[in-house]
Structure 1
Amino acid sequence: MKRFFSETYFNNPENKKALEHYPLIGDGKDGEVYRLTHNKCVKYFFKKETCKKELEALQLGYGSPVIPKLYEYGDHYIVMEYVKGTSLARHIKKEKSLSVKLTADILNMLDELKDIGFARWDAEIRHILMNEQGELKVIDHKRAFSTVTRVPVKLLKGLDKYGLADEFLNTIKKLNPSRYREWRREL
């Protein structure tokens, strides 16, 4: 497989300028994401420690249907699957509702994150991506092992912003009554 960057490429801060030739598709306090090809992107991290935390989660989740594929990494970067689609936040902003199927898919996604072994199996709605086939992928896992989750508070908070938290919980109540009761006890 062709490597995009050598192991120590970004140890020289000047080399980060090479990423400016690629489209910037996301940025935040921890780094920037650039699209490399039709199916790969690179996440450049400002701090090695943050990159290491995200890498650990991607390695543990390798092969999971809800985790982007990992292709290459170094001290400050991770090349991973580019998920072509939209965020759950954009989807619900447009649709203004959650289908029963999407709610079931979200519940399965949360279970998968738990099964992988993440302590934080909750996700913000902007970090849940829906690919063109409607499959869910979760990005931004730097806190996968440092934050313990018992209830998907971040997910519910995001859904509540669009007035959909109650609809989501009512569907969960029908799909999985015991999970609903468990979450209600914790909320």
Structure 2
Amino acid sequence: MREFERLAAKNKGILSPQIMQDYQQVGKGADGSVYRLSDEWCVKIYPKEETFRKELDALIWGQKSPVVPRLYGHGSNYVVIEYINGITLKKYLKDNKHFSTEIVEKVLYLLDELKKVGFTRHDAEVRHILFSEKGDIKVIDLKRYLMTDRTVPTKLLTGLDKLGYKKEFLEQVKNLQPSRYKEWEPFID
């Protein structure tokens, strides 16, 4: 970690993928690149300041919840957060070919936590839901969680539908939490 801190200081708290070339890249998307710093930490670098600010605010806001990665620090265009060694819900479903009750309960817990922490978006994409090696559930890519008003998990349901698991998920929700299913029912197509 000291090597990374020296690198960040040398570059006045501004990082780029070129500067991070000696670190393992573990993620890349339109909003940034993620590099593993250690077994516990990673850094996400943002090309746009607006995206960086939104995600930093959401990470700070969500620190009281166990489903939000721990925030360890930040610079001018990056955050240092908890590295989650695990798999996405999307990969889990592709590998296991089954949506177990235990996993459905964890996803419902995650949605409850998003609401409990005060986020206005109670939804997550299947590729942004992670299960750690210990079985803990986490959500990443939080930039819209304080600005999007969505109480029905439409992104989650769309992703599950594409994978062929929407019906199975909803049947389990109906059995586990009938009132939640009724709340979602008008939005289910």
Task: Provide the rounded CA distance (Å) in 2 between the counterparts of 1:69 and 1:8.
Answer: 23
1:151 aligns with 2:152: yes
1:138 is matched by which residue type in structure 2?
Answer: V
User: Could you tell me which residue of structure 2 aligns to residue 174 of structure 1?
Assistant: 175
Is the 2:89–2:131 Cα contact (8 Å) retained in structure 1? Answer: yes
> Aligned residue pairs: how many?
184
Structure 2 gaps of 5+ residues are none
User: Could you tell me which residue of structure 2 aligns to residue 118 of structure 1?
Assistant: 119
User: Could you tell me which residue of structure 1 aligns to residue 80 of structure 2?
Assistant: 79
Deviation at 1:9, TM superposition (A): 2.2
Deviation at 1:17, TM superposition (A): 2.5
Deviation at 1:30, TM superposition (A): 1.3
1:37 aligns with 2:38: yes
Deviation at 1:145, TM superposition (A): 1.6
Q: Percent identity?
A: 46
RMSD of equivalent CA atoms = 1.6
Deviation at 1:161, TM superposition (A): 1.2
Structure 1 gaps of 5+ residues are none
Deviation at 1:186, TM superposition (A): 2.8
Is the 1:150–1:186 Cα contact (8 Å) retained in structure 2? Answer: no
Residue pairs, 1:51-130, within 5 angstroms: 51-130=52-131
- TM-score, length-scaled by structure 2: 0.92
Deviation at 1:18, TM superposition (A): 2.4
Match of 1:8 among 8, 12, 17: 12
SS in 2 for 1:18: coil
Deviation at 1:16, TM superposition (A): 4.9
Deviation at 1:82, TM superposition (A): 0.3
SS in 1 for 2:111: helix
- Measured against aligned partners, the alpha-carbon deviations of 1:73-104 in whole angstroms (never above 9, x if no partner) come to 02200000000011110000111111111101
- Measured against aligned partners, the alpha-carbon deviations of 1:127-179 in whole angstroms (never above 9, x if no partner) come to 00100111110000011122111210111111111111011001000111010
